[in-house]
Amino acid sequence: MDVLIIEDELPAYKRLSKMLGEIDKHIHVLGHADSIESSIALFQQYPQAQLAFMDIELADGQSFEIFNRIQVTCPIVFTTAYDEFALKAFKVNSIDYLLKPIDPKELMSALDKYKQLQPKQDLSQFAELLRAPKSFKSRFLVKVGNKLISVRTEEISYFQAQDKMVYLITHDGRKFIVDHSLDELNGMLPPQDFFQLNRQFLAHIDAIESVSTYFNGKLKIQLKPNVTEEVLVSRDRASEFKNWMNG
């Protein structure tokens, strides 16, 4: 099987490539791209590609733009940390949607879906799977001294990654360590309520006290409870953040 990998983070590309080789030694990665422009060139260079693994947030924008620029003929497996794009992904060539960090079993399942596809089969059936109600976490078990307590999701203001740890901060300012990365948490929480602002903060809508424009198209966020460091949303995600704020 000849595949392409569209991924702007080199460690993620290397990990996915290695996982594919471990699952099936007959999978051949034809090439790798990390941006919209290089992806277009890659698809044009390898029209024989049978399957592509595609991240959504690339170096120069969202990968959906690729489909507006060229005709992509092979099926796509999207690999991303953001599950709010799921239904949009299935409007293009997608046969599966894997949340990072990618689970080897889910990757195998995606490959099995591809192998089961018949020529000209309608891929919309997979969109129906995504429309089914998804179960999100309603509470987190955290440690306080030698005790364990449960914190309800509606009590959470934001999560903060700091000094190789991830902390849960409640609306009333309590702070607890959680055993998940921000990317993992992003897939556990309802996307209409939580948004990953950057690599440090994943915030609840009620935690956004104010938003102001910043240099180079970025947005500056004032959170509550207040934090000392600047909280910025990148120019690439600014439009998506505004849409989320707008409901």
Q: Write the CATH number for 195.
A: 2.40.50.1020
4-16: average pLDDT: 94
Helical (H) or strand (E) element with 127: helix 124-131
Q: Tell me, yes or no, whether 57 and 144 share the same domain.
A: no
Total count of domains within the chain: 2
Q: Which of 2-16, 35-49, 81-95, 211-225 has the lowest mean pLDDT?
A: 81-95
Same domain, 8 and 126: yes
Range of the domain at 151: 139-245
* Residues 6, 117 within the same domain: yes
What value does the mean pLDDT of the chain take? 87
Whether residues 101 and 218 fall in one domain: no
* Residues 152 and 31 placed together within one structural domain of the fold: no
Q: Are residues 109 and 230 in the same domain?
A: no
Which of 84, 101, 98, 103 shows the shortest CA–CA distance to 181? 101
d(CA 128, CA 79): 19
Position 212 confidence tier, pLDDT thresholds 50, 70, 90: very high
Do residues 62 and 46 both lie within one domain? yes
**φ, ψ for residue 107, nearest 5 deg:** -65, -45
Of 131, 156, 185, the position where a domain reaches its end is: 131
Q: Is the pLDDT of residue 226 over 60?
A: yes
Domain with residue 66: its CATH number is: 3.40.50.2300
pLDDT tens readout for residues 130-170:
444 456 889 999 999 899 999 999 999 999 999 889 999 99
Q: Tell whether the model's pLDDT for residue 65 goes beyond 60.
A: yes
Count of other CB atoms within 10 angstroms of residue 79: 25
Residues 98 and 107 sit within 8 Å (Cβ to Cβ):
yes
Helices 104-116 and 10-23: angle between axes, nearest 10 degrees = 60
